[in-house]
Amino acid sequence: MKKKNYLTQDGLKKLKKELAYLKNIKRKEIAQRLKKAISFGDLSENAAYVEAKDAQAFLEGKILKLRKIIGSAEIIKKEKSDKVKIGSIVRVMFEGQEFNFEIVGELEANPLDNKISYKSPLGSALFGQKKGKEININIGDRKIKYKILNID
């Protein structure tokens, strides 16, 4: 069964942009490095050649991975809902302060940008809940309480 990669439209756009950059610019840069390394002669003891070949292999692996992710992407449609789901922006109360989190797929999660995966401890606790619901998350021996204030 093919794994679905949940992405926002912006997330898909970023991945496609990165893929184009890797294919059109980085490939050429590495090809130039290989060409230069080959010009040094004896490939069996040519560290520049070995390094360029490793970089090329890494790049091709990354290109393959991005193609696979893009090919299995399921775009999250922003829809108004009374329950938290992927694509929701959730305002919560935590220790007297309000925070906004966007619930996203695993590939777009970035806590520094307040984008949390629906599979993370907080994301999975919020997932499917309604406005006004209080949830508790156990982290170690500490119980953390959140209250859902709004869902967009």
Q: In the CATH hierarchy, which top-level class contains the domain 5-75?
A: mainly alpha
Q: Quote the pLDDT of residue 148.
A: 96
CB atoms closer than 10 angstroms to residue 152: 12
Residue boundaries of the structural domains of the chain = 5-75, 89-151
CATH fold of the domain at 89-151: Chitinase A; domain 3 (3.10.50)
| Contact assessment for residue 135 and residue 125, using Cβ atoms and an 8 Å cutoff | yes
Instruction: Divide the 152 residues of the chain into consecutive groups of 10 and give the mean pLDDT of each group.
Output: 82 96 97 90 81 95 96 88 92 94 93 94 94 91 93 92
Query: Which region holds residue 30: left if phi is over 0, alpha if psi is between -120 and 50, else beta?
Result: alpha
SS3 label, residue 45: helix
